[in-house]
Amino acid sequence: MEALVCRKLGDPTLGLEDNNSPIILSRNHPIPQLDSPTAVRVRIKATSLNFANYLQILGKYQEKYPLPFIPGSDFSGVVDAVGPKVSDFRVGDPVCSFAGLGTFAEFIVVDQSHLFRVPQGCDLVSAGALAVAFGTSHVGLVHRAQLTSGQVLLVLGAAGGVGLAAVQIGKACGAIVIAVARGDEKVQLLKSLGVDHVVDLGNENVTQSVKEFLQARKLKGIDVLYDPVGGKLTKESLRLLKWGTKILIIGFASGEIPVIPANIALVKNWTVHGLYWGSYKIHCPGVLEDSIKELLSLLARGLISIYISHSYRLSEANLAFSAIKDRKVIGKVMIVFDEKLPRSKL
């Protein structure tokens, strides 16, 4: 099978033919075999890139993997083979899930307990972008922050993978959503989703713009801060928080880990939630499973949508990583495996 192999750590945006590229396309990689009676092999249709996949190849992710490895986390596809004790799935079923590694390949083997059936009405490619981005935002906003209707939610990095998911889940919860993003294209998309206020970082000051909106709507401040960016933007956003705000620490796309002063957290009764979604698989698997089932149901009913700004073939994976590095992605960037898809649709 074809697989993308990370042979050394480094910048994955270098062309795959470049000798210095840390990733190479292996065209004769062994197809993984069923390794237990309840194992299922999936022929992957789509896998999405997450910022974490980029960090993993750079060697800057919180978890380190022995080399060589096949990167990639969330995927969708069709069941290709099942072990003798598999009762939940049959060959041909549309499925999706996520894994620690291994989805940038034509096939993956997982246990049936880790797979989700993609319901009728769900686009299979979209399902391949659901787990990490929407799962993180759903567990964060619904399970941890317990966001309720009428509360004010501030989303940083709002047009990125987790950000756009947070915006949609916030709207689905009935929250008043304020989104921060850079550039007209991102701003227009956020407005089209019914976001209550959008700050364009390219030409606006976040504190001033949000304060004006809050005053105009007679709102006291931010109830929930969703932060996948960190750095200077977090520092500025802290000025907008009120008594009792819940802060969701999601990530540091800016590359800078922010400081949240404990003395101010005390005085203002803030709650700081560090969230590592992937670790729920070990510590709280039921929450994660229920969340993905709920998200698949929302997707099938058209209550959330997956926005895919860039799609590539596996042989173009370096371009997919460039889209993330250059902050061009709106929603998700995908690797799609389907030779029959016309290039114009990618």
Ligand X SMILES: NC(=O)c1ccc[n+]([C@@H]2O[C@H](COP(=O)([O-])OP(=O)(O)OC[C@H]3O[C@@H](n4cnc5c(N)ncnc54)[C@H](OP(=O)(O)O)[C@@H]3O)[C@@H](O)[C@H]2O)c1
Interacting residues of 286 by C-beta distance below 8 A, sequence separation 6+: none
Of residues 251, 258, 291, 298, which one binds ligand X by CB under 6 A?
A: 251
Range in contact with ligand X (rule: CB under 6 A) among 11-19, 245-253, 290-298, 309-317: 245-253
At 55, give phi and psi (nearest 5°). Answer: -65, -35
For residues 143 and 308, what is the distance between their CA atoms, to the nearest angstrom? 26
Neighbouring C-beta atoms of residue 58, cutoff 10 Å: 15
- How far is the CA of 174 from the CAs of 83, 152, 186, in angstroms? 44, 10, 22
- Is residue 334 involved in binding ligand X (CB under 6 A)? no
Adjacent-strand bridge partners of 81? 41
Residue 13 contacts residue 321 (beta carbons within 8 Å): yes
Tokens 């819940």, residue located: 246
Site string for ligand X, 28-67 (x = CB under 6 A): ----------------------xxx--x------------
Q: Is 68 in the site for ligand X (CB under 6 A)?
A: no
Which one of 24, 46, 275, 299 is in contact with ligand X (CB under 6 A)? 275
Q: Does 157 sit near ligand X (CB under 6 A)?
A: yes
Single residue of 77, 163, 170, 258 touching ligand X by CB under 6 A: 163
Which of 109, 129, 132, 178 lies at the binding interface for ligand X (CB under 6 A)?
132
Closest separation in Å from C-beta 210 to ligand X: 15
Q: Which one of 160, 166, 199, 295 is in contact with ligand X (CB under 6 A)?
A: 160
Distance separating alpha carbons of residues 341 and 346, to the nearest angstrom: 8
**134 is a site residue for ligand X (CB under 6 A):** no
CB of 123 to ligand X, least distance (A): 19
CB of 91 to ligand X, least distance (A): 32
Residue of the chain from 255, 257, 264, 285 that contacts ligand X (CB under 6 A): 255
Cis peptide leading into 68, omega within 30 of 0?
A: yes
CB of 76 to ligand X, least distance (A): 17
160 CB-near residues (< 8 Å, 6+ apart) = 51, 181, 228, 253, 329, 331
CB-CB neighbours of 120 under 10 Å = 7
Select the residue interacting with ligand X from 41, 171, 186, 246 (CB under 6 A).
186
Site for ligand X in 194-213 (CB under 6 A): 201
* CA dist list (Å): 327 to 158, 171, 302, 324, 334: 12, 24, 27, 5, 15
Instruction: Choose between 9 and 81: whose C-beta lies nearer to ligand X.
Output: 9
| 94 is a site residue for ligand X (CB under 6 A) | no
Interface positions with ligand X (CB under 6 A): 50-52, 55, 132, 136, 157, 159-163, 181-182, 186, 201, 228-229, 250-255, 275-278, 324, 327, 329
